[in-house]
Each structure stands twice: as C-alpha cells, then as structure tokens.
Structure 1
Amino acid sequence: MKIKTMQEAENYLYNSLPVFHRQGPAAYKADIGNISSLMQHVGNPHMDRDKFIHIAGTNGKGSTAHLTSAYLQENGYKVGVYTSPHYTDIRERIKINGVLISEEDFVACLNRFLDIIEEVQPSFFEIICAMAFLYFKEQNVDYAVIETGMGGRLDSTNIITPILSVITNISFDHQQFLGNTLKKIAGEKAGIIKDSVPCIIGEKVDETYDVFIEKALSMKSTIYFSEDVWQCNYIGFDGELTKFQINSKDARQTSTMIKTNLHGRYQTKNIELFLTIAYVLDRLSIVEFNLNLIKSTLLDITKLTNFIGRWQTISEKPKIILESAHNIAGITEVTEQLKLMEFDQLFIIYGTVADKDISEILKILPLDAHYMWTKANIPRAMDENILKNTAFASGIPGESFSKVGNAIENAVKLASDKDLILIVGSIFIVGDALQYLKNNPLS
C-alpha cells in the first residue's frame, strides 16, 4: 500500500491509529518502545545530539517553543518545531521557520513508515512524532525545538538527547496518567532531564523544587530556575502590542522595555523562561546573547513562527479573543487577565473534553459573564448540555450550543462594539472557532 494524497493520509491516520486528542485515555501509550522501533526503521534520525531543545511542562510549552524557535531564526538558523495538538491542520505540528510541512512531504514521510506500522501498532502521536524527526533530519535543520505531548519520562519525544532541557511549570492536569500530586507530576516531567545536559525550570515552587534539584544532581545536570536569572513585569497593552519590563539578575544588570504581539499578562513567566533559554545558550557558547534580536523576536513572534490560538484577537468591535487555556492554572491566568481589561459585557464561549473534571475550573470562572456552553467537533468532547447542567448546578447559568460556530454566531448578534467575547476551554474549541471564522469571516 502507498498513500498518494493528503486526504488519504489523514483518513489513514485518524481511522487506523489510536488518537488521544479525539479518543482520550484509550489512545494513550506510556512507553517509548514504539517510537524507538519507528526510528530504527528509518535510520534513527533523532540521534543528532547537537540539534534538539526539549520542552516539557503543564502550561506554556507552545509559547516557549515558538519563542525559542523565533530567536534561533532571528540568529539566522533553520529551525524545526514539533508541537501538539493542532488547531485546524494536522501539518501545524511540524514546521520549519514557521512554514508548515508541505502536503507532499507529509505524505512522503508517512509512507516511509507504512511497512512497520502494522507490526508496531503505534498511536497517532507516536507516528506524527516519528515523522517530525525524519522530516527535520531530511531537511537538515540547524536546530529543532521539540515539545512533549503530555508527560516527559515516557513521552515519545523523550528518545532524544538535547542540548538543553526545559520544563515550563507544574500544575494539575492529566492526573490519571501523571499522578495526583505536584511532586508526582514533577517527577514525570523531570524525566526529560538528561545526563550532563543543562536544564531550565520555569517556576520555582516549594512542592516541586526538591524533585528537580535531586533529579539534576543525579544526572549531573546544571540546573537554572528562570526567576533567578530574569524578571519580567507586565506593563500594559497599547491597543496593538503588549509591553513588558525585563530585568536581568546577572552581572550585566540589563533592564529594558520590550513590546510583543504575544499577548496576556500570563506571558510574563514564558518570557522569563525564554530569556533564560537565550542566556543559557550563550553560556554554552551555542548562540551569543543578543538583546536586539531578543526584542525583534518578541515583536514578531506570530509572523516568525505562525503561532496562533493564545490570547489571539480576531476582531475589535466587538473584541473577540481566542485562548486555548484548559486547566486550572491556565484558566486562573485568564480570569486575572480579564480583570485588567475594559469592556461592557463579557461573553464566554466555553467547551471542554468529557474526561476532564471541571468542578474546580467552574469555581474560578467569572460569575458576571454571559455563558454559551458548546462542544468541539471531536468524539472526546463533553456534551454541551451536560456542561450546561454541571455549570448551572455550580451557580453559573448559560445557554448551550451543539457547535462552536453556532455559539459564535449568537454571541456576535448579542454583543455591542464595546463588549468582549472570549472563546476558551481547549485547543479543540479554538480550532473549531478558527475554522468557522475562516469559512464565515466577520464583516
């Protein structure tokens, strides 16, 4: 069998392999045996130890990966990025310098594995991950920024030996796989720390501090906590760009204002982490620290890397914002950001997945919003009426809509120019919103 078209490739992947982002826990495989077999089948393209930066964590992986990629691009390098899941196009997961893998190359990479898929029986995530490593090798990238899928220790991406390991933060998410305490979750994420490879931790938290220190010591890895290296403070939004004040804590004592099209106050932690990555790459004599390129990276992050779905404004009157936050930590940051904004009425279009406990999230959602509960177009989605009834029982009334597009259409009809419509809850909700708005552009 040989796959000839992109449509055939998608049909094969979705219909023949376990797909976690559609099916949930039934598609999860907690080992790296499959990915190792896939890599061996195509000559182990992941073995180039000088190319990879590995990023794990609960939140902020996507922002950190794209910032790191953009900075390397600004330094003149050819940079691959592997992330997951995707919003509207499966090819979003594999990019070089912000350009999605072509349909032709996607099909060609998949065909390279067809002979072994029946034997190995990999998951959807495992085969796409294998395709990314193969593609980056064949395209001869200078560096590849690799984002874990969920955990770290047993994640398919954890077959690489990177030049730098990065863990953004630790909070509660996917407890059924990673553990029900922050220490256990941190232990899984710390599994990406490799022998003698420096690691950077995005947040210093009492519950997880010892986990990372002990792991780094056991691996003879130099460890950095980003808040010990850089400080970033949110200044405000000028209508087009968000302003932050950054201050270094090393001997240079650099202090300056930066502007970025990466929006949301919660980006302070991601920017601190990104700056620390740039600092450590300099210390490793890999890429010289360049503040001007730091500034241009932050200013043009969406253009450089095709970064979408994070506090993305798609309309001004009314203001419509897309945000992929989906867990307690992410939604908490969103609610704090809303407190800084000015608007008349707040409309929230929210949807989630059926296997997520939303009881704690419902406790932190703002009570003064007009809610529209909805469902993404995936089998794993929570039914909109179950969501509506669960929210109502928690004191949050709202309407239910079977499709994200219907919820958007209703919100736009009700909203005035000074209102805010926030579409939030999962990447799948945002993906459906992007697809709807592509087909039904706002006038």
Structure 2
Amino acid sequence: MNAYQEALDYLYSQLPMFTKVGASAYKTDLHNTVALLQQLNNPQHTFKTIHVAGTNGKGSTSHMLAAILQQAGYKTGLYTSPHLLDFRERIRINGQVASEDFVVKFTNDMRPFIDSIAPSFFELTVAMAFEYFSQEKVDVAIIEVGLGGRLDSTNVITPELSVITNISFDHKNILGDTLPQIAFEKAGIIKEGIPVVISETQSEIQQVFVSKATDMNAPIFFADQEWMVDGSDIKGNHLELTVLDTRQNKMYRFRLDLSGQYQEKNVMGVLSAVKQLQQKGWHITWEQVSAALSQVRKLTGLRGRWEIVSEHPLTVMDVGHNEAGIREIVQQLEHVNYQHLHIVTGFVKDKEVENVLPLFPVTATYYFCRAQLPRAMDEVALAEMGAQHGLQGRAYESVQAALQAARQHAKPEDMILVCGSFFIVAEAL
C-alpha cells in the first residue's frame, strides 16, 4: 500500500465522517477547527477568501467564481466538499488537485495533535486546505461551506465577500425544520462590514438576511434585483444566457459550459459577486468573466452538474439530492427530447425522501440502488416507498448493477438519469 492510501485510510477510519455516519459527526462549535489552525499558525490569515454558503448551487457558484478569478490571472484556491472520485478534489489551486505528497506530509505531521483532540474528518480537511493554500501562496481562495454556516468549520475566515445562494430544506435534523431557521444558520457567514450577495430573493426569509446584515453593518445585495435573465437557451452541453444589468441598463451574453437551466440563478449571484470584487479593486473584466463561464469545467474540474456522459442513450449525472435540487432536475427534463426515461437513484437515510419521491415523474422506469456507505438508504425499502408514489422499478444492491441494468434496457433514443445523492453519482462515474 502506498503512503497516500495509508494517509487516507487513517483519515477515513479514525475521524468521524458526516458522509458515513451523519449528524453524529457534526460538531456544534468551532473549538477543534480553531485549535487545529492555531497549531498551524493560522494559515487562513495569509490569503484572501470568498465565502460561499447556501442549500443548492453553492458548489457551482464556487467553481464559477474560481474560474473567473483564475481567468483574470489570480492564483486561485478552491475548497469544496464532498469529493466525487478522489479526496484531493476538495482542495484545488487553478483547477489542479492538491499533491499526494502534501496530503501524506500534513497527515503525518499532524497525527499526534489529531490523536489528542479527535477532530471530525471535515474539521481536519478545512485545516488541511487552509495550510495548502498558505504554503502555495494563493492570491485568493473560494471557500465553500460544508453544512449550514454559523457553526461550519469554514466560518473562521474574514472574507472579501460572502455569497449565499439559496435556502431550501436539507439537513433538517441539524439546521432546523423551517426556512427562517435554516436561513439563520446560513446567515452566520455574514461578517462585520463585509459585503454579502444573496443569489435569490425568497420573500419568507429575505428579512433574516437583511436583519443580520444590518446588525453586522454589512452591505447586502440581492442578485436577482440587480440582474435579469432576458433570454435563455440550452444548446447541447451549453446554456446560452442574455442577462440585463438592471442598474446600468447594459446587456451581456454568456455561453456557459454548464447546461443546467438551474444555473441561471447561480450566474446572477456570481455576476453580483464580480461587481462587488471590481468595486473592491480586483481587476476583472467582463471579457474575462465571459471566457471563464464558457469553460468552468475545464478550468476548475467541476463535475456532476447535469453532466452528459454519453449519447444514445443520452446519459446524464446530476448530484441534485434534496427537494429543491430534484425539483430543478425535473424542470430540466422538460427541455430534453427522449422516448423513455430511465432513472437510477438512491438516497441517504437522513434525507427527506418522503417529500422528494412525489416530485419524480411516474412515467419513468426506476432502478433503485444504494451507495456503499453506512448512511445509504436500503434499496428495497426505497423501492417500496417509490411504489407508494407510483414509481415503478426494481431494487439493485449496487449503483453499478443499477446502471448496468438501465443501460441494458434503454434504447438509443431513451434517456438515463443518475441522481439522488452525491455518492450515487460518484459510484456511477
């Protein structure tokens, strides 16, 4: 076994992982994160940051912002979670994942301290990312919140800018079971005097953000009040947008290499963020923004967002996994031509599956499956729940078996959609 694999095995086996065990791995204070960073001489203070929170869209938003800053010539770090194929996807600089040697050295050097304070997996990876960005002397790092915001391990930075994408129901057992409660947790990233961009105006929680921003003397900007989508068209793997800057009465055209219609909301948040950065003296031109948005996948390695992996049958992977995410996926399906739809899906136990299943189309054939992790929902139980909502299909013990069955049954003019959780998509890829 090589040293990198040994380091990963230690991290996975010794540290409580939210992806594996759920809420019991979530720490309700920043004590461990602060201790880890003090041990490392607070690397998070040595570079500039942009902090991104939200229920859905924060990953896409983080990658778009990273692509833009990269395109503008800044050495750009990007911290996201979870990963799809390789742990190092969580920590990138200019699209390149962290080196195996760094992960090994960091883990070995920190091991006595890790053993003494027993941090969670996420707490440690945040500290690892900050140390890597500091050592590599990035100009700026885009930091995606893991869960919530107020008590998230990433909430130890004082960013140039905070961005909150949208709020919908997810992790109710931790963040609260009303939208205002969840919004309160996300609003925890708003810092004293630091501007905050809210991607989407949602009437029932708008005041939560306004109140927090007022308390913190933080200028607040609602992106969909600054920008308006004037035209939108999906062409193959691309989303073509015509966007109006309502304050300047100027029109911009962008061609994204991300084809999900749901990216419209994220793009508006990104454009408002760019405006704020420009006003703070960051050198970013609209030509650079346009060039970056046309190659987000290439510049940053983003995957799993309405990702077309093959044609005939059209096969799409999307990490949408909660009510709002599945709703967006179902809306996206209306823009696709296919004869019959095959859906490979599975969930983790703590998702509101009862609320999600009624959103799925009853005309599709389903391949219910389970990802290889303890939190995964039993595929037979899922198939039974699906049947109660009119979803017809069979249960499969693994994602690969389900995908293989879908491929066997699908005709060239059909469509296969893989969704339901990050881990289903990861195993399918």
Aligned to 2:64: 67
Kindly report which structure 2 residues correspond to 1:191-230, keeping only aligned pairs within 5 A, or say none. Answer: 191-230=188-227
Aligned to 1:382: 377
The yes-or-no answer on 1:44 pairing with 2:39 is no
Match of 1:11 among 9, 12, 15: 9
2:86 maps to amino acid: D
Aligned to 1:427: 422
Offset at 1:80?
Answer: 0.5
2:276 maps to amino acid: V
1:135 maps to amino acid: Y
The runs of 5 or more residues in structure 2 that have no matched partner are none
Deviations 1:106-143 (A, max 9, x none): 11222232121122110000001110000000000000
Aligned to 1:336: 331
Deviations 1:272-324 (A, max 9, x none): 11111111111122234x22111111111100001101100000111000000
Cα distance change of structure 1 residues 299 and 384 upon mapping to structure 2, 3 Å threshold: same
Please list every run of at least 4 consecutive aligned residues from structure 1 whose deviation after the TM superposition is greater than 3 angstroms: none
The yes-or-no answer on 1:279 pairing with 2:275 is yes
The yes-or-no answer on 1:403 pairing with 2:405 is no
1:14 maps to amino acid: Y
Q: 2:103 aligns to what SS in structure 1? A: helix
Q: 2:193 aligns to what SS in structure 1? A: coil
Offset at 1:395?
Answer: 2.0
Aligned to 2:256: 260
Offset at 1:360?
Answer: 1.1
Aligned to 1:392: 387
**Contact persistence 1:235–1:245 (CA under 8 A):** yes
Aligned to 1:307: 302
Aligned to 1:84: 81
Instruction: Please give the alpha-carbon distance, in whole angstroms, between the structure 1 residues aligned to 2:390 and 2:175.
Output: 31
Aligned to 2:408: 413
Offset at 1:230?
Answer: 1.4
For the aligned residue pairs, the C-alpha RMSD in angstroms reads 1.2
Higher mean displacement: 305-314 or 230-239: 230-239
Deviations 1:359-393 (A, max 9, x none): 11111111110111011111110011010011112
Instruction: Please give the alpha-carbon distance, in whole angstroms, between the structure 1 residues aligned to 2:2 and 2:283.
Output: 40
Aligned to 2:179: 182
Match of 2:109 among 112, 116, 119: 112
The yes-or-no answer on 1:365 pairing with 2:363 is no
Q: 2:154 aligns to what SS in structure 1? A: helix
Match of 1:132 among 108, 129, 136: 129
The yes-or-no answer on 1:355 pairing with 2:353 is no
Q: 1:304 aligns to what SS in structure 2? A: helix
TM-score, normalised with respect to structure 2: 0.98
**Contact persistence 2:237–2:308 (CA under 8 A):** no
**Contact persistence 1:232–1:245 (CA under 8 A):** yes
2:422 maps to amino acid: I
Instruction: Please give the alpha-carbon distance, in whole angstroms, between the structure 1 residues aligned to 2:374 and 2:229.
Output: 40
Q: 1:117 aligns to what SS in structure 2? A: helix
Aligned to 2:139: 142
**Contact persistence 1:232–1:269 (CA under 8 A):** no
1:390 maps to amino acid: M
Instruction: Please give the alpha-carbon distance, in whole angstroms, between the structure 2 residues aligned to 1:39 and 1:95.
Output: 19
Instruction: Please give the alpha-carbon distance, in whole angstroms, between the structure 1 residues aligned to 2:402 and 2:2.
Output: 37
**Contact persistence 2:54–2:167 (CA under 8 A):** yes
Kindly report which structure 2 residues correspond to 1:153-192, keeping only aligned pairs within 5 A, or say none. Answer: 153-192=150-189
Match of 1:322 among 304, 317, 321: 317
**Contact persistence 1:42–1:112 (CA under 8 A):** no
1:272 maps to amino acid: M
Instruction: Please give the alpha-carbon distance, in whole angstroms, between the structure 2 residues aligned to 1:71 and 1:391.
Output: 41
**Contact persistence 2:309–2:316 (CA under 8 A):** yes
Offset at 1:249?
Answer: 1.4
2:104 maps to amino acid: V
Deviations 1:232-274 (A, max 9, x none): 35622222422111111122x2213221111111000011111
**Contact persistence 2:83–2:90 (CA under 8 A):** yes
Deviations 1:325-384 (A, max 9, x none): 000001001101101211100000011101222111111111110111011111110011
Q: How many residues align?
A: 429
Instruction: Please give the alpha-carbon distance, in whole angstroms, between the structure 1 residues aligned to 2:116 and 2:53.
Output: 29
2:336 maps to amino acid: M
Offset at 1:397?
Answer: 1.9
Instruction: Please give the alpha-carbon distance, in whole angstroms, between the structure 2 residues aligned to 1:408 and 1:310.
Output: 18
TM-score, normalised with respect to structure 1: 0.95
**Contact persistence 1:233–1:268 (CA under 8 A):** no
